[in-house]
């Protein structure tokens, strides 16, 4: 061992967090050289390891500087600093990644193209107009990675041999592309090809001109992006959008719209606090905004919101330069199937929709849909967590190592536990769809490999018929069952670092209960290991089971039947006249004989019922359409409510008395809707007051799909805060079933400890 000179300091710095694929090593390299320090920096599966040697005072300065100008996308979660043996380094170097098995580091999510790269496309001779430009601060990451550590040879960029210029930049520390793994240029990188009908155009400029012209003409174009295909068309052309709807057989669900820039968004939507920032963030999610003026009517189909996002690939910018119209950019798939990622598959699946295909030859290793977020009470809330967010881990204070959480059924996402982090998968989708279940299996395998994950324990939903439950049980490992709403509440607790007894409110569509009924309007006293169901909405029936979810009028009839019996036939309510007599009689029979009419305490289905009762939505064509229309119709300035109060189980007769009376008096639906929402808030507040007094708990956790309803969440949150409760809701993880896996995981971790 070398003798350490007295004035020299030798330290090892170990950084964990989002430190790979974000330009961290070059940053450290430049800084060390600036201070003339010697040593090394290297990527690890677990983080970044730095050794520095130099004068004590200089090393101190270096450490101070290190945190000051971190690369924009990086995030440090933990720093370990220790004295180290003297090596006598001659210079400062970036050394080869070390692959320690069993340990992981963060894989960066995909990053929108940065401003500097957009400028470089105008001045770098080898990158003039180059559409796959990227740098250490931007470009594809998760979507191209096949294994770790994150180096080019373990990404789908491996097949592109770097040209001399790119190689020089890649190895030049003062270059913006120093060690940018997906580095590429016009000479050596991936390319687009355009296939309109029988020709193939490989010239990029020519392609952009043609594609813009097609969009202008009202045509639909399929475009390969970062994490999958989009179907694009002019969002101002009703003809184009309705054609897309017809061909995609996605009757009414709103389409996402990409706008050329923030100014054009402001023309069509209101921007409130935080929304501009979220839209412009490098994650570039779709953000649900209040509409100001209308796009083509078929885009949002009667809803007063629009899912807006900004360009995040050079190709998007190039199209907007020639055709500065808002564009529908919806996922390139058929109804419930996963979004297409390969050229062949897209061609096969989407040929019925368009004959214009923009392909590129950078393979997508991991499918990632566009993420969806919304701002409620000034906080961003993620609704669909995929591109830009996945696979960022959720840190907890629990030992999650080796736990696989299978997730739920709809809007599925699974999770794996590494150390104290939960890594949630990208949005998978509805597992009832066969192709989606294949995507699930593939992704599980990919995550196992990518994060060197070795499952030891499996957590899954209580529902025996969920595909994810059966998948979990097919793994030859010990299983832990977690009740759906306990998982919802636990997910929110984990996200907010709570590990104690709380009052959990789960307002949800459906979830299998411990009594075999379908739950969803639940008041729990819960901690991470277990829960007690303190109260719930009084059970009512879902005539026809799943059919009732598609036909909310059935639920309305069931609730009327529950509270008024056969008298409902004498009621003069408009929606009843719209239901065919024969169908109505069948439903009444089912209710009377209790055949195929399972019991539920669902809060979500109450929104369905009221939506039908007020004539807004008798049958729905996509998930949550009825509640969305009900929220949409509301006049938020109305503060009144129907009589409620405390009861056990929670009796809703007075609520329905009030709605019926309003209907007889022809009170506008905007007011009925507001009164209904306010009543639910009031009911919840009454419950909380009662529970807080009886259990002496003042932390309130809100979870479940219903809290995607902005009015419900913000009003309840505010009322609870005004009553001096501590309130916790979801921000980084979906409040819908996309967040369930996190809850399953922490519950399993806690039970494993016991
Ligand atoms: Zn860049
Ligand atoms: Zn090149
Ligand atoms: Fe749920």
If the chain, 754 residues long, is cut into consecutive pieces of 10 residues, what is the mean pLDDT of each piece?
A: 79 88 86 93 85 92 90 87 88 78 66 96 97 95 91 95 97 88 97 86 94 97 97 98 89 92 98 96 97 95 95 98 98 88 94 95 97 97 97 94 97 96 96 96 95 95 97 97 98 98 97 98 98 98 94 97 91 92 94 96 98 95 92 97 90 96 97 98 96 98 98 98 98 98 98 94
Question: Comparing C-alpha atoms, which of 192, 107, 114, 116 is closest to residue 143?
Answer: 107
C-alpha closest to that of 613 among 578, 644, 651: 578
Query: 135 C-alpha to center of ligand 2: Å?
Result: 13
Q: Which of 48, 74, 94 is the last residue of a domain?
A: 94
CA distances from 264 to 11, 465, 527 (A): 52, 46, 47
Torsion of CA 601, 604, 605, 608, to 10 degrees: 160
Dihedral Cα 468, 469, 472, 474, nearest 10 deg: -110
CA of 109 to the centre of ligand 2 (A): 24
Ligand 1 centre from 498 Cα, in Å? 38
Do 565 and 695 lie in a common domain? yes
Q: What are the distances in angstroms from CA 227 to CA 9, 142, 234, 368, 427?
A: 46, 9, 22, 4, 12
Q: How far is the CA of 158 from the centre of ligand 2 (A)?
A: 13
- Distance of alpha carbon 178 from alpha carbon 717, whole angstroms: 47
Ligand lying nearest the CA atom of residue 161: 2
Residue 99: the pLDDT is: 59
Q: Which ligand is nearest to the CA of 705?
A: 3
| Residue 440: inside a domain | no
How many angstroms is it from 130 CA to the middle of ligand 3?
44
* Bridge-based pairing state of the strands 75-83 and 305-309: unpaired
Ligand lying nearest the CA atom of residue 115: 1
Distance of alpha carbon 427 from alpha carbon 703, whole angstroms: 18
- What is the distance, to the nearest Å, from the Cα of residue 6 to the centroid of all Cα atoms in its chain? 54
- In this structure, the answer to whether residues 88 and 197 fall within a common structural domain is no
Counting ligands in written order, the one closest to the CA of 187 is 2
| Spacing, Cα 596 to ligand 3 middle (Å) | 22
C-alpha of residue 17 to centroid of ligand 1, in Å: 21
Alpha-carbon span 275 to 284, nearest angstrom: 11
Same domain, 559 and 665: yes
Question: If you measure from the C-alpha of residue 116 to the centroid of ligand 1, how many angstroms do you get, rounded to a whole number?
Answer: 6
CA angle, corner 13, sides to 11 and 15, nearest 5? 180
Q: What are the C-alpha distances in Å from 563 to residues 401, 518, 655, 674?
A: 50, 20, 11, 22
| Distance between CA atoms of residues 314 and 115, nearest Å | 10
714 and 573 assigned to the same domain: yes
- 137 CA distance to ligand 1 centroid (A)? 5
Torsion of CA 460, 463, 465, 466, to 10 degrees: -50
Q: How much distance in Å is there from the Cα of 263 to the middle of ligand 2?
A: 35
User: How many beta carbons lie within 10 A of that of residue 340, not counting itself?
Assistant: 25
CA of 312 to the centre of ligand 2 (A): 22
Backbone φ, ψ for residue 15 (5° rounding): -110, 130
685: which residues sit within 8 A by CB, 6+ positions away? 716, 719, 720, 723
Residue 686, classified by CB atoms within 10 Å of its CB into exposed (0-12), middle (13-18) or buried (19+), is middle
In a domain, 122, yes or no: no
Q: 454 C-alpha to center of ligand 1: Å?
A: 35
Q: List residues bridging with 702 in a β-sheet.
A: 505
Domain termination residue (choose one: 74, 94, 114): 94
Tokens at 667, concatenated: 């009170």
Quote the ligand 1 centre to 20 CA distance (angstroms). Answer: 15
Q: 0.85 cut: is pTM over it?
A: yes
Q: Any idea what the CATH number is for the domain that residue 631 is in?
A: 3.30.420.40
Q: Which domain holds residue 88?
A: 8-94
First-residue to last-residue Cα distance in the chain: 47
Number of structural domains the chain divides into: 3
How many angstroms separate the alpha carbon of residue 187 from the centre of ligand 2?
5
Are 560 and 686 part of one and the same domain?
A: yes
Can you give the pLDDT at residue 428? Answer: 97
> What pLDDT sits at residue 46?
75
What CATH number has the domain bearing residue 41?
Answer: 3.30.70.100
Total number of residues shown for the chain = 754
Residue 415 domain-assigned? no
Distance, CA of 312 to CA of 258 (rounded, Å): 10
Task: Please report which ligand is nearest the Cα atom of 510.
Answer: 3
- E-state strands within 27-124: 38-43, 48-55, 75-83, 92-94
- 3-state SS, residue 668: coil
241 touches 296 (CB < 8 A)? yes
The three state secondary structure string of 467-503 is HHHHHHHHCCCCEEEECHHHHHHHHHHHHCCCCCCEE
127 alpha carbon – ligand 1 mean position (Å) = 12
How many angstroms separate the alpha carbon of residue 407 from the centre of ligand 3?
A: 10
Q: Looking at the CA of 160, which ligand is closest? A: 2
Ligand 3 center to 499 CA (angstroms): 21
Q: Is residue 493 part of a domain?
A: no
Based on its alpha-carbon atoms, the radius of gyration of the chain, rounded to whole angstroms, reads 28
Q: For residues 82 and 200, state if they share a domain.
A: no
Ligand 2 center to 671 CA (angstroms): 62
Q: Which DSSP string do the residues of 142-206 spell out, in sequence order?
A: GGGB-SSS--GGGBTTTTS---HHHHHHHH-TTSTTTT-TT---TTTS--EEEEETT--B--HHH
Order of all β-strands in the sheet with 38-43: 75-83, 8-18, 48-55, 38-43, 92-94
Helix axis angle for 653-664 and 552-564, nearest 10°, is 110
Cα 660 to Cα 648: distance, rounded to the nearest angstrom? 23
Q: What is the DSSP letter of 68?
A: T
Ligand nearest to the CA of 126: 2
CA–CA gap between residue 175 and residue 705 (Å, rounded) = 47
Q: How far is the CA of 702 from the centre of ligand 3 (A)?
A: 12
Q: Residue 603 CA: which ligand is closest? A: 3
Sign, CA torsion 518/521/526/529: positive
- Quick check: is 110 in a domain? no
Question: Is 688 part of a structural domain of the chain?
Answer: yes
pLDDT of residue 102: 40
> How far apart are the CA of 41 and the centre of ligand 2, in A?
26
Measured CA to CA in angstroms, residue 365 lies from 141, 226, 227 at distances of 10, 10, 8
- Given a contact cutoff of 8 angstroms between Cβ atoms, the answer to whether 72 and 27 are in contact is no
CA of 228 to the centre of ligand 3 (A): 27
Q: How far is the CA of 117 from the centre of ligand 2 (A)?
A: 14
Q: What gap in Å lies between CA 564 and CA 559, rounded to an integer?
A: 8
Closest ligand (CA of 509): 3
How many Å lie between the centroid of ligand 2 and the Cα of residue 182? 10
Tokens of residue 492, six digits: 């929110």
Same domain, 578 and 708: yes
Distance between Cα 132 and ligand 2 center (Å): 11
What spacing in Å lies between the alpha carbon of 180 and ligand 1's midpoint? Answer: 9
The alpha carbon of 69 and the centre of ligand 2 are apart by a number of angstroms equal to 29
pLDDT of residue 581: 92
Ligand 3 mean position to 408 CA, how many Å? Answer: 8
Identify whether 516 is part of a domain: no
Q: Is the dihedral of CA 673, 677, 683, 685 positive or negative?
A: negative
Q: What tens digit of pLDDT does each residue of 78-116 get?
A: 899 988 888 889 999 988 776 544 444 568 899 999 999
- Ligand nearest to C-alpha 506: 3
Domain boundary among 94, 125, 158: 94
Provide CB contacts within 8 A for 140, sequence distance 6+: 110, 111, 134, 182, 226, 362
The β-bridge partners of 164 are none
Which ligand is nearest to the Cα of residue 130, counting in written order? 2
- List the beta bridge partners of residue 532: 525
Distance of CA 289 from the midpoint of ligand 1 (Å): 28
Residue 680 within a domain: yes
Query: Considering every ligand atom, which ligand is closest to the CA of 461?
Result: 3
The phi and psi torsions of 741 (rounded to 5 degrees) equal -60, -40
- Torsion angle of alpha carbons 264, 266, 272, 273, nearest 10°? 50
**Å from CA of 370 to ligand 2 middle:** 29
201 and 88 inside one domain: no
Ligand 1 mean position, distance from CA 278 (Å): 19
**Ligand index nearest the alpha carbon of residue 704:** 3
- Rounded to the nearest angstrom, the distance between the alpha carbon of 165 and the centre of ligand 2 is 6
Ligand 2 centre to CA of 188 (Å) is 4
203 lies in the same domain as 80? no
Q: Is the dihedral of CA 323, 327, 331, 333 positive or negative?
A: negative
Specify whether 62 is located in the same domain as 198. Answer: no
Ligand nearest, relative to CA of residue 177: 1
Residues 347, 203, single domain; the answer is: yes
Ligand nearest to the CA of 180: 1
Rounded CA gap, 343 and 155, in Å? 18
What is the Å distance from ligand 1's center to 265 Cα?
A: 24
Rounded to an integer, what distance in angstroms lies between the CA atom of residue 114 and that of residue 353? 32
Q: Are residues 89 and 196 in the same domain?
A: no
CATH number reported for the structural domain that contains residue 346 in this entry: 3.90.870.40
Measure 124 CA to ligand 2 centroid, in angstroms: 11
């Amino acid at each position: 061992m070398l003798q350490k000179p007295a004035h020299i300091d030798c330290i090892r710095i170990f950084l964990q967090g989002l430190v790979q694929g974000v330009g961290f090593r070059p940053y450290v390299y430049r800084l060390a050289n600036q201070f003339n320090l010697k040593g090394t920096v290297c990527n690890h599966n677990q983080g970044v390891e730095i050794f520095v040697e130099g004068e004590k005072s200089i090393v101190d300065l270096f450490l101070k500087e290190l945190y000051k100008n971190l690369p924009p996308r990086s995030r440090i979660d933990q720093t370990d600093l220790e004295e180290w043996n003297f090596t006598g380094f001659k210079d400062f170097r970036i050394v080869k990644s070390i692959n320690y098995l069993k340990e992981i580091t963060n894989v960066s999510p995909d990053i929108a193209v940065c401003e500097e790269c957009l400028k470089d496309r105008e001045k770098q001779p080898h990158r003039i107009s180059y559409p796959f430009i990227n740098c250490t601060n931007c470009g594809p990451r998760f979507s191209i990675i096949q294994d770790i550590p994150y180096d080019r040879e373990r990404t789908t960029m491996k097949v592109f041999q770097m040209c001399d210029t790119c190689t020089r930049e890649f190895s030049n520390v003062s270059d913006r592309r120093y060690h940018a793994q997906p580095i590429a240029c016009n000479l050596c990188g991936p390319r687009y090809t355009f296939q309109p009908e029988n020709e193939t155009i490989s010239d990029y400029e020519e392609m952009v001109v043609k594609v813009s012209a097609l969009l202008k003409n009202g045509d639909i174009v399929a475009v390969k992006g970062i994490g999958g295909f989009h179907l694009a068309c002019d969002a101002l052309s009703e003809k184009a959008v309705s054609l897309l709807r017809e061909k995609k057989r996605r009757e009414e669900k709103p389409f996402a719209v990409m706008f050329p820039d923030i100014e054009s968004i402001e023309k069509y939507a209101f921007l409130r606090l935080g929304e501009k920032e979220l839209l412009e963030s490098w994650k570039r999610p779709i953000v649900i905004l209040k509409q100001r003026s209308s796009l083509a009517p078929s885009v949002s189909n009667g809803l007063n919101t629009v899912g807006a996002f900004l360009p995040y690939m050079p190709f998007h910018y190039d199209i907007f330069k020639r055709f500065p119209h808002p564009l529908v950019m919806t996922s390139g798939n058929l109804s419930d199937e996963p979004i297409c990622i390969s050229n062949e598959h897209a061609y096969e699946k989407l040929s019925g929709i368009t004959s214009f295909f923009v392909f590129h030859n950078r393979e997508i290793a991991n499918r990632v849909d566009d993420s969806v977020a919304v701002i409620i009470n000034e906080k961003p809330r993620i609704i669909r967590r995929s591109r830009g967010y996945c696979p960022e881990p959720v840190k907890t204070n629990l030992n999650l190592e080796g736990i696989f959480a299978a997730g739920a059924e709809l809007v599925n996402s699974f999770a794996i536990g590494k150390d104290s982090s939960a890594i949630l998968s990208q949005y998978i989708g509805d597992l009832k769809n066969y192709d989606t279940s294949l995507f699930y299996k593939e992704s599980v395998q990919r995550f196992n490999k990518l994060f060197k994950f070795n499952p030891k324990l499996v957590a899954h939903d209580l529902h025996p018929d969920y595909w994810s439950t059966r998948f979990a049980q097919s793994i030859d490992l010990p299983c832990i069952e977690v009740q759906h709403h306990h998982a919802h509440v636990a997910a929110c607790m984990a996200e907010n670092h709570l590990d104690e007894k709380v009052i959990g409110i789960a307002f949800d569509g459906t979830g299998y209960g411990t009594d075999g009924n379908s739950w969803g309007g639940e008041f729990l006293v819960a901690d991470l290991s277990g829960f007690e169901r303190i109260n719930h909405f009084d059970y009512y029936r879902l005539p026809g089971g799943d059919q009732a979810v598609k036909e909310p009028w059935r639920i309305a009839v069931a609730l009327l039947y529950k509270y008024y019996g056969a008298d409902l036939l004498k009621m003069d309510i408009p929606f009843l006249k719209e239901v065919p007599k024969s169908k109505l009689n069948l439903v009444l029979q089912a209710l009377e004989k209790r055949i195929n009419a399972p019991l539920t305490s669902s809060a979500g289905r109450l929104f369905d019922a009221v939506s039908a009762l007020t004539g807004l939505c008798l049958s729905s064509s996509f998930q949550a359409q009825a509640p969305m229309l009900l929220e949409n119709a509301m006049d938020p300035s109305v503060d009144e409510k129907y009589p409620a109060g405390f009861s056990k189980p929670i009796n809703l007769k007075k609520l329905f008395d009030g709605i019926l009376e309003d209907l007889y008096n022809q009170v506008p639906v905007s007011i009925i809707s507001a009164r209904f929402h306010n009543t639910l808030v009031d009911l919840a507040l009454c419950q909380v007051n009662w529970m807080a007094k009886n259990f002496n708990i003042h932390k309130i956790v809100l979870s479940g799909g219903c809290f995607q309803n902005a009015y419900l969440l913000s009003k309840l949150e505010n009322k609870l805060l005004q009553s001096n409760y501590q309130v916790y809701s979801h921000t980084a993880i979906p409040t819908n079933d996309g967040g369930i896996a996190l809850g399953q995981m922490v519950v399993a971790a806690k039970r494993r400890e016991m």
